[in-house]
Amino acid sequence: MEIIRTVARLKEALDTLRSGGNVKVGLVPTMGALHAGHMSLVERSCAENDVTVVSVFVNPTQFNNPDDLRTYPRTEEADCALLEKAGVDIAFVPSVEEVYPEPDTRIFDLGAVAEVMEGAMRPGHFNGVAQVVSRLFELSEADRAYFGEKDYQQIAVIRRMAQVMGLQRPQIVACPIQRADDGLALSSRNVRLSDAQRAEAPLIHRTLCHSVDMAADGATVAEVKAYVLDTLSGHPMMKPEYYEIVHPLTLQPVDSWAEGATGCVTVWMGDVRLIDNIKYPAKN
Ligand code: PAF
């Protein structure tokens, strides 16, 4: 595996790797602090492509909260060791100046998918994601790009960005959430939970799972929403920010059970912000 820090070297290395012809390149964009969730994307890319590039870049333009940017875990050495072991070809670990030689002032037309939930709570966040992801797409010219469904809305936003930019490639591949044995969705932010918070955090997934059973037993969208919010806000260590049950493609809230309706939650535990989501069974 080559660790590449400059755009010039990335292009050169990819040109060489592609010179054999018909070489498929997979891209896994990450912000590092890699865990088994990321590694499931990496493994999938390695299985489906000839060459896998993993970017490790904490993108400042997508942080609307300076403390979150400052405290975001950075574990480059351990990340590169994991990527090497997984058989990755290129770890792209650029500086901010390499990714943004000039400030990126582009404003993307991300439409309604970016206006709700994370878009409403974190102004500018998705525009920053679109900036960095479009840049990584352009630099890698990848055939496929892999994203985790924990960031459910992010995938919809990236699809929209690719559509408005008229990109033919990469194909955007959504991969299932990976969970700890106790159900907590894997996230780089989990390491910032105290032991006590970490012990209680699985309540989020347990509550979502129970809400699916309630829906199967005939509860309405409004009843399910109230149950999830009441349960989580009733826990002394948790502050839910929102719980929305949304259409899987438009991400707009639904008030009756639509095919693929997905519940998306954000919960604060102390100063750590956790997100998770779950699909509800279709109702006729
Ligand atoms: O999901 C993430 O880790 C980031 O938002 C991404 C897609 C790597 C862009 O910085």
Q: What is the pLDDT of residues 76-103, one digit of tens each?
A: 999 999 999 999 999 999 999 999 999 9
Locate the domains of the chain by residue range.
2-175, 188-279
User: How far is it, in rounded angstroms, from Cα 261 to Cα 164?
Assistant: 25
> What torsion do the CA atoms of 158, 271, 63, 243 make, to the nearest 10 degrees?
30
User: What percentage of the chain carries pLDDT values higher than 90?
Assistant: 96
Sheet (strand 90-92) strand order: 2-4, 90-92, 51-56, 25-30, 144-148, 171-175
Q: Kindly report the pTM of this predicted structure.
A: 0.96
Look at residue 125 in the predicted model and tell me its pLDDT: 97
* pLDDT score at 244: 98
What is the whole-number distance in angstroms between the Cα of residue 172 and the centre of ligand 1?
A: 13
pLDDT of residue 88: 98
CA of 148 to the centre of ligand 1 (A): 9
Cβ–ligand 1 contact at 134 (below 6 Å):
no
* pLDDT reading at 283 higher than 90: no
In CATH, which superfamily holds the domain spanning 2-175? HUPs (3.40.50.620)
Given a contact cutoff of 8 angstroms between Cβ atoms, the answer to whether 228 and 235 are in contact is: no
Q: What is the pLDDT of residues 198-216, one digit of tens each?
A: 999 999 999 999 999 999 9
Please report, as a single letter, which amino acid is at residue 118. Answer: E
Query: Looking at the predicted structure, is the pLDDT value of residue 260 above 60?
Result: yes
Round the CA-based radius of gyration of the chain to a whole number and report it: 19
What is the residue whose two structure tokens read 């755009």?
A: 7
Structure tokens at 236: 């002394």
The token pair that represents 55 in the structure block: 């970017």
Does 132 sit in the ligand 1 pocket, CB within 6 Å?
Answer: yes
Check whether 158 has a pLDDT greater than 60: yes
> Domain 188-279: which CATH class?
alpha beta
pLDDT computed for residue 251 by the predictor = 97
Answer whether residue 156 shows pLDDT above 70.
yes
Positions marked active-site: 38
Residue 175 is predicted with a pLDDT of: 98
| Ligand 1 centroid, distance to 213 Cα (angstroms) | 32
Residue nearest to atom 8 of ligand 1 (CA): 30
- Whether 94 is in the pocket of ligand 1, judged by its Cβ within 6 Å, is no
Q: How far is the CA of 15 from the centre of ligand 1 (A)?
A: 25
Range 177-183 contact pairs with CB under 8 angstroms and sequence separation of 24 or more = 177/37, 177/148, 177/149, 177/150, 177/276, 177/277, 178/35, 178/36, 178/37, 178/40, 178/148, 179/205, 183/209
- According to DSSP, the β-strands at 51-56 and 25-30 are parallel
- Ligand 1 binding pocket includes 59 (Cβ within 6 Å): yes
Report the phi/psi class of residue 32: left, alpha or beta, with left for phi > 0 and alpha for psi in -120 to 50: left
Give yes or no for a contact between 93 and 109, defined as CB atoms under 8 angstroms apart. no
Predicted confidence (pLDDT) at residue 20 exceeds the cutoff of 90: no
| Residue 272 CB–ligand 1 contact under 6 Å | no
pLDDT at 284 over 70: no
